[in-house]
Amino acid sequence: MSRNINIGILHGETLNAGDWILIHAGFAVEKIDEQTARNQMSALHDYTGADAELGEPQFAGFDDDSAD
């Protein structure tokens, strides 16, 4: 799955494929480290009460041309 994300809030931030980005409502809000991302996913899992394990995160490709 892929979708367009507005990265305007992160203007000036260096973004590379594989970076962890906190996204809310289609906006890239903050570049975060992997541990923070996993903590956030775990908290969301706890909050929703889902029975399934988190599994591996899903990634969408980062297209440098979209940053213009």
Q: 35: domain range?
A: 8-67
Dump pLDDT digits (tens) for 6-65. 999 999 999 998 899 988 899 999 999 999 988 888 888 888 876 545 455 555 455 555
Extended strands (E) in the chain: 20-24, 27-32
In a domain, 2, yes or no: no
- CATH number where 54 lies: 2.30.30
Per the structure, the count of domains in the chain is 1
- Whether this model's pTM surpasses 0.75: no
Phi, psi values for residue 37, rounded to 5°: -60, -45
